[in-house]
Structure 1
């Protein structure tokens, strides 16, 4: 069983669709999975080097602006298929605002309110963008449905925050 982390596996998944440079992979990841799985540029290049070393991807010739396009190998396709056959681990919520609220007794109320308002605007923006998103595959529709429901749930929770944050 290949020891792929989810970030490496996602890169192999994107490379199933065609050859990409590291820069292109960062942009594709931001667009397709960036709202629920973050990838930094340094992670992408580090994973591409590891995937190349393991024979899961091959780098092409260096082109303009030092870009190198990568393609998935048969071994990479096999490793990706094996990774997909293993049940995913449970998610862990990493929500910075929630962490700040957990320690909110140590934050000025006005400042905390500004933080919440800033996040509300971001979640409203994401919800609008999701509503405008066009999907093609059933899997994209399923992922989008989660995003829509998640953003609406966060906004509903934010509606309840004033009552939840009062001292009763």
Structure 2
């Protein structure tokens, strides 16, 4: 990326960050509160793109300030709906067609494995067992998603999820065997 974050390998990269783009994409389905967006992101994106409540609640006011979303109806317990604005639809479309830029991996498992040397053998074994259980569940879910996929893109993403879970399990098995 250049120092302005506008190009990567000479190609245009959108100014919209991935979290903002994810929220704008979800808001295409209709108005939603921050909590509803967190739940929708978890359901739609699964393990590949997680958003935390704090990210969502930090990003929504910024999107509103930029005119990309507007406030919708006030809900119970002071919940606030957000609605995508025309400018938000335009910014989202520009993000979709811009170059993706580098793909950043943020894996809590990899972070733990990098620092696993500071654990006892028993603690490392527990870490591996726990991670193996999580990725086994992800593999099962990905297999089900492949079978349920209704279109080629959804199937390809589910296949990727399956390959990712298999790779993580292989990594854990390789480390455990050493």
Give the equivalent residue in structure 1 for 2:165. 151
Q: TM-score, normalised by structure 1?
A: 0.87
Contact 1:97-1:116 within 8 A present in 2 as well: no
Unaligned runs of 5+ in 2: 1-5, 7-13
Q: Which runs of 5+ in 1 are unaligned?
A: none
CA distance in 1, matches of 2:53, 2:135: 24
Aligned pairs for 1:1-80 within 5 A: 3-80=15-92
Matches of 1:102 and 1:64 in 2, distance apart?
44
Q: Which of 120, 130, 135 is matched with 2:149 structurally?
A: 135
Matched, 1:100 2:119: no
Structure 1 ranges of 4+ moved more than 6 A = none
> For residues 159 and 50 of structure 1, do their structure 2 counterparts lie closer, same or farther at Cα, with a shift above 3 Å needed?
same
Distance 2:59 2:113 in 1: 34
User: TM-score with structure 2 length normalisation?
Assistant: 0.82
SS at match of 1:35: helix
How far apart, in 2, do the equivalents of 1:76 and 1:136 lie?
Answer: 28
Name the Cα RMSD after superposition: 1.9
C-alpha contact 2:128 2:176 (8 A) present in aligned 1: no
